[in-house]
Amino acid sequence: MSGSLRRYAAADSMRWRRWNDEMVVHDAASCTTHLLDGGAGEVLVSLRDAPHALDADTLCRRLLGIDAPDDNARLMLEETLQRLAQVGLVVAIDP
C-alpha cells in the first residue's frame, strides 16, 4: 500500500495533557485544541517520541509489539494517521 511508503511525523508545536483514555492536544502553530481518544493519543505520542519520521508499518509494529500486524490493524492506524494529519497534528511526508 502507498501508506507504507509514506512516513509520518508529529507536529513540532504541540502541548498535551493525558487523562485515562483521553488526551487534549494544543497545537501552538495553528492555535487549535483537539480532544483525542486513547488510541489516537498513543499514535501521536509514539510519533513524537520517535527520533525520525516513521512509516505506517513500522509504527504499527511498534504500537502493537508484533512483527506482522494484520490488515485490520494497519487500516485502523492509517485512518487515525489521516485524521491526525487533517487537523495538523501529524505531518505526512511522501517518498
Binding site for another protein (CB under 8 A): 15, 17, 19-20, 22-24, 26, 28, 31, 33, 35
**Is the CB of 19 or the CB of 65 nearer to another protein?**
19
Min. distance of Cβ 40 from another protein in angstroms? Answer: 12
Contact 94, 6 (CB under 8 A): yes
**Is the CB of 34 or the CB of 74 nearer to another protein?**
34
Contact 77, 63 (CB under 8 A): yes
Min. distance of Cβ 11 from another protein in angstroms? Answer: 13
Min. distance of Cβ 52 from another protein in angstroms? Answer: 25
CA gap 37, 66 in Å, rounded = 22
- CA dist list (Å): 25 to 1, 3, 11, 46, 68: 29, 24, 11, 14, 30
